[in-house]
Structure 1
Amino acid sequence: MKKILLSTAVIATVSMAGGEFSSFENSDATLSEIEALKARVVTLEGTQKKGDATGDDADLSKKIKKLEKNLKRMKKTLNKVKAHDAYDNIKFSMDFRSTVDNINYKYNDYKFKGADWSGTEAKNDALFTSRVMLNMKSKPTDKLSFQGQIAAYYTWGAHLFDSHDAPLKSWSGSSKASDTIFRVRRAYFVYNSDSFYAVSIGRRPSSDGFLSNFRENNPNPSSPLAHITNMEVDAAMVKLKTGDLVPGSYLKLVYGRAHAGGVESVYDGAGYKPFAHEDGDVDENVDFFVTVASLYNNGQYNLMAQHAVIFDTKGARTGTPIGAKFDPTDPNSATNKSLDAGTGHLTGLSLQVDGIGDEISDFLDDSIFFASVARTLYVPDGGHQLFGSEEDTIGYSGWVGLVIPDMITDDGKFGIEYNQGTQFWTPITWAEDTAIGSKLAVRGSAIEAYWNFNLFGEKNLPAQIRYTHAQHDYTPNIRCAGWVAPVETDIEADDIRLSVSYRY
């Protein structure tokens, strides 16, 4: 009787495991054999009860031992398959968004290239755009991973832009609406050691960073502080893990290149010197060194800090009018703008409070408050000027926001934000996805309200209604233009945006 009970247990175990192996070769035959043996055990148990058991259970025992050997082999194969499924693949996801923007500009006091625009207006009643982002992830080992994202962001009816067009700057190529060509937005690997550090190289997740994710209706922000940095850049990163010392803390050291210059020839258009780098201050490389720190994060309070140094930032020489040729007799002479003119220092401190108070109410628990302060300092080189000044220029900015449950839909949120910036406030946020230009870079004030919700209640159809108003008290900071002095203006810009996305 003991032998029969043991046989029953073993066969039951093999039978239950059989479902996991149904995809393996010869598994159908194995399962059929198990079922036959189960039937025999039932018969033997019946005869045992009647006291007329035969010696057939000895043959059954041999077959069970054989099945046990097969089971061990199948377990080894299963482990290999599980390892293959977990590591040897690339996982894809996507984000497809369609948007319509209603844009209005009111020029109360504004001059451009000698022309007085004061008292005029400009608008676009319906700017239709679509953006497709294909995401990919892979993890061949526990320590090594890769993430990539290619994107096409285009206006409806767009033509192919020439390379000199502003939308195709490398640092905003897939963040500003242009044409239908897919471009690399992110591509980097991360080696995560078992000890205190991680290393990464590639095109960084440096756009749509910390705190900007709410206005972008994105649940997962990138790591840099959006208040001072929002660009697509390539860099190498070392991350130091300090969470054992301070909850949720870490330090990232990032060095990269925002602009590659000084190369006159890829073949022999300027003589045989492919990719040779020219000296001087005309079209020099622009490199950067950024320190990003999570100072404290306990799940409710998240305090982040960042300092960025921009080398050879663009400006102009002194003694020559802005935009004038250095040699008027040479049609190919460089002009006095977009020259390597100095160093920029950008510093920010941002706090996010996820849940106001301590279980006061469900409404406050689901509310988010954030605040950020930042400063920019630009130091011109000798014989050069930045923003029309040979002296250092300093700008300041503040940013506050509140996100609350909409009390209408299951997961919907209402948000409101306010920004204020001074005359020389100049962050590098030119890849910010705002049709009227970066509202975080405003030299004046900006107010924004939005409603994030799931269309038809579908979590895969996030939608947004957003209104942005910017009051420019000084020349708008809409691109890299350190040779342009910010003078007093009075421009009002408004953008009403409706968008819906498909995410999967």
Structure 2
Amino acid sequence: MIKRYTMIGLAGAVLSAQVFTGTAFAGQTALSQEELINEINMLKNIVLDLNERLAGAEEMLQMSLEMKEQQDAQVADVVEVVDELDERLGDAEKHTALDRVTMGVELQTQLNSIHMDVATMPAASQIMIGQMAVAGSQFSSAEMAQIQQMMKQQGTEKQSIDNDALFTSRIRLDLKAKPANSLSFVGRLSAAKVFGDSTGVKWYNGGPNAVTMDGNIHSNGSDSALRVERAFFTYFGDMGDVPYHFSLGRRPALGGAPAEFSTSSMVGGSPMAHGINWQFDGASLGFGLADITGIPGANFKLCWGVGFESGVGSGNSYSMSYNSDIDDMQFGGWIANLYQDENTTITNMYAHAANVTDGFSGLVVTPFTLNGQDLNGDGQYDQFQMNANDGAYISRTEPTANIGSIDIVTLLAQSKFAQVDFFVDLAMSHARPSGLSANPTMQLLGTDALLNSNGEQNDRTGYSIWAGVKTELPWQASIGFEYNWGSEYWIGFTGGEDNPAGSKLATRGSVYEVFYNHPMVENKLTLSIGAQYYDYDYSGSGNPMGAPVKIGELSALDAFLPVTESMWNYYMNLVYRW
């Protein structure tokens, strides 16, 4: 519009020029002066009108520009609101997606073939004890001492116990969520089931894993119930240049390094498996020290946990008694990653267990019951009553006394050279007894103190070595060998080890293991085949009660409950992980 009116105005100016020069209206009669003035006035009016219209058009253009700026501002506001809503919705969708996606499943089906050479009481002693239990015999402490002496003078009988095929299944459901960058949650539900068995309670055969307890129920084959294996939150923060994290709940305490070595899996737990492979509840506070120390992978974590609760709410028979002197069993310590790069890791762990008890709350079926009465109040039973458990009734076990403290130290070095992985893990335990068990059966057997018998209270130091090597094969497979040895007084909390033959890391003696792992179906399914040979030097492996006895010197009293002398464990398992 502006261009059009401007051209009209220019045409008027040209016409005016033509009039004054006499070039207009060529061939026509010249206009009079009055007519010429009228014509000029008309042209002026046209120009004025065009100028007014042009001014109006400019005003409309300015208004249009202002309206456009307002519209642009409104659009910007709308875009900002939409972006904010999109971000909020995206966070919600991300949170929902993570809640749904970060769930893992592990299913392990395992076949074990177990063959044991066992030392037991002679048949005559078994008959005598059986008759006493069936008759519901009563006897005094002096008579019990006579029974002990008689059985100490008798040797043992050898038996071979075989289970050619033992099938077990273990399922784990892993749950993870991270609602904020500084907060995460990890949970795991698990069940470990023996094929053809859902009782959840075993017959007591003298082994530490025969009692179903809080620390081992997630790995020892029992019933088909899903239980909470781990559930904890972790808060992440920074103290200057030092990142830290605090965690509280049921701890990831099973399958710690280097237990993953022979299974070609991820590290399963925080504590070093050589000293602690046992489920518990507690807290940890960790610090990342790599940046301030310049040492790759350096970090330090303080740990605390509860092994036994004795007070109100525990369900123990003495929890409501005002004069109960049994304290909670607790422990604390640290895990220090001293160095870690792509190939090498060096880790130290220390744990101190205070107020160690003579057992844990659990369930078991015992062949007989033995009750004691303290008639004079001196803390020792004066009279005993033995009865056969003819109905195979389930018994709830519970500690009867605090018996001392235990310190455990481990040092692990793992590395890789070319296609060969290897590790060496050293451990030491030190037990300080400071009490006696009030359990009648332990008094009968004389195993009434921490790594001591018959009331002795001597400090005991034990040692253990664990080493392994493996090499890669085609198809991402691997083959390897492990060896571990424990001394006479070696003791650790390894009863949660996933092994129906018993914890190899608790062995007072030697264990040799060879294994082969073959990943299948894009590493989602792994086949493992292996064999373990246990060669025991002393009795009581994994049991803190009583002084160990050399295998070649066992008496009938020492073999009151069967003692394994050697064992072969062949295994094959398929593990599905997703």
Is 1:398 matched with 2:465? yes
Corresponding residue number in structure 2 for 1:468: 532
Q: Which moved more, 1:131-140 or 1:71-80?
A: 71-80
- How big is the shift at 1:459? 1.2
- How big is the shift at 1:432? 0.5
Corresponding residue number in structure 2 for 1:242: 289
Cα deviations across residues 468-488 of structure 1 (Å, max 9, x unaligned)? 11111111424xx32232111
- How big is the shift at 1:339? 2.7
Q: What is the CA RMSD across the aligned residues, in angstroms?
A: 3.4
Cα deviations across residues 238-278 of structure 1 (Å, max 9, x unaligned)? 11221221221111111111122355885xx97xx9x6476
Contact 1:376 1:396 in 2 (8 A): yes
Question: Cα gap change, 1:435/1:164 in structure 2, threshold over 3 Å: closer, same or farther?
Answer: closer
State the alpha-carbon separation in 1 of the partners of residues 403 and 373 from structure 2: 16
- How big is the shift at 1:128? 0.7
State the alpha-carbon separation in 1 of the partners of residues 226 and 574 from structure 2: 20
State the alpha-carbon separation in 2 of the partners of residues 128 and 164 from structure 1: 18
State the alpha-carbon separation in 2 of the partners of residues 337 and 134 from structure 1: 32
TM-score calculated relative to the size of structure 1: 0.75
Corresponding residue number in structure 1 for 2:140: none
SS at match of 2:179: coil
Cα deviations across residues 42-65 of structure 1 (Å, max 9, x unaligned)? xxxxxxxxxxxxxxxx9x999999
Corresponding residue number in structure 2 for 1:118: 157
- How big is the shift at 1:431? 0.4
TM-score calculated relative to the size of structure 2: 0.66
Query: What does 1:93-242 correspond to in 2, within 5 Å?
Result: 93-107=104-118, 118-162=157-201, 166-195=210-239, 196=242, 197-242=244-289
In the alignment, structure 2 segments of 5+ residues that lack a partner are 1-64, 127-154, 205-209, 360-369, 375-381, 387-395, 437-447, 553-564
SS at match of 1:345: strand
Amino acid at match of 2:186: Q
- How big is the shift at 1:221? 3.5
State the alpha-carbon separation in 2 of the partners of residues 110 and 374 from structure 1: 31
Higher helix share: 2
State the alpha-carbon separation in 2 of the partners of residues 467 and 413 from structure 1: 15
- How big is the shift at 1:337? 7.8
Contact 1:217 1:464 in 2 (8 A): no
- How big is the shift at 1:220? 2.9
Corresponding residue number in structure 2 for 1:86: 94
Cα deviations across residues 404-423 of structure 1 (Å, max 9, x unaligned)? 1023x2x2111210011111
Relative contact order higher in (CA < 8 Å, ≥ 6 apart): 2
SS at match of 2:352: strand
Corresponding residue to 1:294 among 337, 340, 358: 337
Q: How many residue pairs end up in the alignment?
A: 420
In the alignment, structure 1 segments of 5+ residues that lack a partner are 1-57, 317-322, 357-363
SS at match of 1:239: strand
Question: Cα gap change, 1:343/1:483 in structure 2, threshold over 3 Å: closer, same or farther?
Answer: same
Is 1:482 matched with 2:521? no
Corresponding residue number in structure 1 for 2:572: 498
Corresponding residue number in structure 1 for 2:498: 433
- How big is the shift at 1:280? 4.4
Question: Cα gap change, 1:85/1:249 in structure 2, threshold over 3 Å: closer, same or farther?
Answer: farther
State the alpha-carbon separation in 2 of the partners of residues 469 and 167 from structure 1: 24
State the alpha-carbon separation in 2 of the partners of residues 143 and 337 from structure 1: 40
State the alpha-carbon separation in 1 of the partners of residues 548 and 383 from structure 2: 31
State the alpha-carbon separation in 1 of the partners of residues 113 and 571 from structure 2: 7
Amino acid at match of 2:497: E
State the alpha-carbon separation in 2 of the partners of residues 302 and 194 from structure 1: 24
State the alpha-carbon separation in 1 of the partners of residues 343 and 473 from structure 2: 20
Corresponding residue to 1:445 among 505, 510, 513: 510
Question: Cα gap change, 1:496/1:162 in structure 2, threshold over 3 Å: closer, same or farther?
Answer: closer
Corresponding residue number in structure 2 for 1:285: 328
Query: What does 1:40-55 correspond to in 2, within 5 Å?
Result: none
- How big is the shift at 1:224? 1.2
Question: Cα gap change, 1:84/1:351 in structure 2, threshold over 3 Å: closer, same or farther?
Answer: same
Amino acid at match of 2:266: P
- How big is the shift at 1:396? 0.5
SS at match of 1:210: coil
Query: What does 1:275-354 correspond to in 2, within 5 Å?
Result: 276=320, 280=324, 284-315=327-358, 325-327=372-374, 328=382, 339-353=401-415
SS at match of 1:498: strand
SS at match of 1:485: coil
Corresponding residue number in structure 2 for 1:48: none
Contact 1:352 1:369 in 2 (8 A): yes
Cα deviations across residues 295-322 of structure 1 (Å, max 9, x unaligned)? 1112222110111111121349xxxxxx
Amino acid at match of 2:176: K
Cα deviations across residues 95-118 of structure 1 (Å, max 9, x unaligned)? 0111111111023x5659966653
Question: Cα gap change, 1:188/1:330 in structure 2, threshold over 3 Å: closer, same or farther?
Answer: same
Corresponding residue number in structure 1 for 2:85: 77
- How big is the shift at 1:216? 3.6
Cα deviations across residues 319-341 of structure 1 (Å, max 9, x unaligned)? xxxx8735255879x99985311
State the alpha-carbon separation in 2 of the partners of residues 162 and 400 from structure 1: 34
State the alpha-carbon separation in 1 of the partners of residues 528 and 260 from structure 2: 13
Amino acid at match of 2:498: D
Is 1:260 matched with 2:309? yes
Corresponding residue number in structure 2 for 1:454: 519
Corresponding residue number in structure 1 for 2:481: 416
Question: Cα gap change, 1:265/1:105 in structure 2, threshold over 3 Å: closer, same or farther?
Answer: closer
* Pair member with larger Rg: 2
Cα deviations across residues 115-172 of structure 1 (Å, max 9, x unaligned)? 6653311011111111110000111111111100010110011123359984530011
